[in-house]
Each structure stands twice: as structure tokens, then as C-alpha cells.
Structure 1
Amino acid sequence: MNVFEGSAGYYGRYRPGLPPEAVALLAGAGSPSSRPRRLLDLGTGTGLAVKALLDRFDDIIALDTDVEMLAIAETDLRWRLPAGVRLSLCHGAAEEFLPPPGWRADLVTICRVFRWLDRPAVLARLNQHVAPDGAVAVLADRSLWTATNPWQQAVRSVVQDFLGPQRRAGSGVFPATPEPFGQTLRASAFSDVTESFVPVRRAWSADGVLGYLYSTSFAAPHLFGDRRDHFEAAVRQVLGCFSDTDTFIEDNTFVIHLGRRPA
């Protein structure tokens, strides 16, 4: 089963995009003067990274295994394309990615999906399809499950009350914590790794929190069955203990691991 079953609509609406500082860093990475400049976004989901970088690249391939998310990406991105920019939305696995003949990425972006991939296999394949001066960027922030804000920890407890203490991943359980992303990159062809940390502050409403939860693998809508209304009421009740104005502030950090081949 797709661990994000039923989450695509929520993902497109409630997942936060890239902070401006992260966009600026990525825009300058991976042979920025080459033309045409090519971007490969693996595990694109609804295209959040692509959306942020549309005007920085000439030729973009965005890949995902979820057809529902790709459909949302098509609707949201196609009309935004700057003149002359080519966008290809492709259904497939990152481990099997094969670009058009002669096509090499100047920058590869991989967001949170990196933890779900066969990472050594993906990076070995990318070594064949990334330009000599290109780069691979792995980026993520803390999810609600791992966040440290008190209201988020309280909401996580509600999820655990309904679904059990172990983090879910669709109908299964979340895989064991993998080695740090930077460590995986350093063991690959892209071993020259820099790390950047971008603080972010977000303001959420109760509706936004619930929408975000339903966009995740650990709180996908189908997991709650006929108890979904009770779950939503419990989340709203616990959030009410933290704000009288339906505003919940999240402090987070966006981490970017940028890997290049050694000089």
C-alpha cells in the first residue's frame, strides 16, 4: 500500500514550502551558469520544491511514484511555468530513474522522501546522470512527530492515543531511523558535503494542523476509520489549551545537505 494513501490533497494544500533562504541557496548551487540549466526533483510529491525553483531552471524533470500527487503537481505547476521553461512530470521510482539521452541534471533536489529510498542505489544512479559540476541537495525539517514545540508534542500524544505509541507509516510502521543524510552523501560520489541550517517560524491554525497531519504517513486519514471525527475533536480540544486565538507558532529548522563530487 502507498503509505501516503488518501493524503495527496492535504499534501498539496497544507505542506509548507521552501523558505526563501533555502531557495536562494539552491538557486546558486549546481553549475548556476550553465545553459540550459536542468533540475531533477526526486519524490516531488505535489511539486513544492519545483514550484519554488521554477524561474531558476530551463528544463525540469519531477519524479514521483504517487499518481495522485503528480496530478496535483500538474494542475498547480503547469500554468505557472515561465516562458521557455520545460517541465516533465514523470511517474516512477527514483531507484530506476532514466533521463532522456544526453540529459544531465545540474541540481538534484530530494526532500523528506530521501528516508524512504534505497539511498546508496539512488546516489549511485545519480552519479551517471548529474553534470560534472552538478550537485545533489537533500533537504528537510522536523515533522510534527519529531518537533519540540509544546503544542506539537501535545498533538502527537493525541495521535498516539488513537493509533498507538509507535509511529505509523500507512498500514505499517515507520522504518528504523536511518543514518544521518549527510553521512549517506559522504559515502557516495557526492562526498564533498556542506550543511546549511535555515531557521523558520510558521503560524498554524487548528484547521492547518489537522490538514498537515492528514498529509503525513503517520496520520493519514484512512488510519482513523470511523473515529476520524473523534480524533479531530480531540486535536482541537488539546490545541485550545495553547491558544485563545487559534494561532499556534512553530519554530523549526530547515536543514540542507548539499553534496558535490570532490574537486
Structure 2
Amino acid sequence: MDRPAVLAMADRVASPHAAVAIMGDGSLWTHQAEWTVALQSLIQSHLGAERRAGTTGTYREPGRRYEDDLAESAFSDVAEHRIPFHRMWTPRSVLGYLRSTSFARPDLFADHAGFEGQAQALLLQHARDGVLHEDGVFTVLLARRPGAAR
């Protein structure tokens, strides 16, 4: 998305004391648990090294940080909140999640059933008592116009 254009539009339509929130915790593609790294490698063995994104392309790292875009916008008063979390997955829930992503959706695979069989075996190998653990940080950037009441 064109971040500066979105922030300019938000400046035009938002109330004077509005805040912009940008938040996220990455994806299984970016987390670095042993099982997520192994799963990423399996996906790449089927689809190639580049991470898929959208319906036809590959993922490109943003050229700038969100904080930099906010600093140059009307919403330049930025507070960052980092919330550690522990998430538990089952192999089945991971497979369901993968089907919903642009980097591992079923139509990308020549043999999706074969991939899912391999992924399930890999996930079961890494699961402890049927559970896969993921530790991460959920980051929230709250941005306001300078001088806006909180």
C-alpha cells in the first residue's frame, strides 16, 4: 500500500484527536522457533526460495519502517507498545492457517496434498504432547497528531 497516501487520507477524514494504530506480530514465516524455520524450509523446497505474496507476486521488504512513515505524517507523535506472547498451535491449526496465507495457499503447490502430508509429519515431529509453541512480540504503534489530547 502507499503508506504516505493512506496517512494523508487519514489526516483528512479523522477527527482532530484521532489516533492511528499499526499493529502486528509477524507471521509463521517470520517467527524463529525451530519448527517455524523447518516449516519455512519445507515451503521453500516446494515453491522456491522467494516468499510468495499476494495473488501473483513475491514479497518485498518495505523500504522504510512504519515509524519513519508516521514521523513524516500528520501523526508524528508515536508511542510503541510491545506485548510479549506465548501462542500454542496444533499441527492441524497450523495447516489451516497456512491455507489462508498468500505465501502457502493451496493453489501455489503442484501437489498440495503431498505438501500438507509432509508438513503434518514435520509438525508432528516438532510438537510436544501434540502442541507447537511460539513465543513472539505483538507490537502496537499508536500515532497521534502532535499536541492532540490523549
Q: TM class, shorter-chain normalised?
A: over 0.9
Identical-pair percentage: 41
Post-superposition Cα deviations, 1:198-247, rounded to whole Å, max 9, x if no partner, equal 1111110111111111111111121114x011100111121122125221
The residue type paired with residue 208 of structure 1 is S
Gaps of 5+ in 2: none
Q: What is the alpha-carbon distance in structure 2 between the residues aligned to residue 142 and residue 150 of structure 1?
A: 16
Amino acid at match of 2:104: A
Aligned-partner Cα distance in 2 for 1:149–1:203 = 12
Matched, 1:228 2:112: yes
Aligned pair partner of 1:153 in 24, 29, 37: 37
Partner Cα distance (1:253, 1:244) in 2: 22
Normalization by structure 2: what TM-score? 0.92
2:9 is matched with 125
In 1, the alpha carbon distance for the partners of 2:109 and 2:124 equals 21
Q: How does 1:55-94 map to 2 (within 5 A)?
A: none
Describe the SS at the equivalent of 1:241: helix
Aligned with residue 177 of structure 1, among 51, 62, 82: 62
| Separation in 2, partners of 1:177, 1:132 | 29
Partner of 1:102: none
- Say if 1:178 and 1:140 are closer, same or farther in 2 by CA, change over 3 A: farther
**Are residue 247 (structure 1) and residue 131 (structure 2) matched?**
yes
Question: 2:145 maps to what in 1?
Answer: 261
Code of the residue aligned with 1:194 in structure 2: it is: A
Q: Runs of 4+ in structure 1 displaced over 6 angstroms?
A: none
Matched residue SS, 1:132: coil
Contact 1:123/1:189 (8 A) holds in 2: yes
CA contact (8 A) 1:191 1:261 kept: yes
Separation in structure 2 between the aligned mates of residue 119 and residue 168 of structure 1, nearest angstrom: 21
Instruction: Name the CA shift for 1:250/1:244 in 2 (closer, same or farther; >3 Å).
Output: closer
Any idea what SS the aligned residue of 1:131 has?
coil
Residue correspondences, number: 146
Distance 1:219 1:262 in 2: 41
Q: What TM-score do you get using the length of structure 1 for normalisation?
A: 0.54
Instruction: Name 1:75's counterpart in structure 2.
Output: none
Alpha-carbon spacing, 1:142–1:246, altered in 2? closer, same or farther (3 Å): same
Distance in 2, Cα, partners of 1:203 & 1:249: 5
Q: CA offsets, 1:179-209, max 9 Å, x none?
A: 1111111111000000000111111011111
SS of 1:185's partner is: helix
Aligned-partner Cα distance in 1 for 2:125–2:7: 45
Instruction: Determine if the alignment matches structure 1 residue 205 to structure 2 residue 104.
Output: no
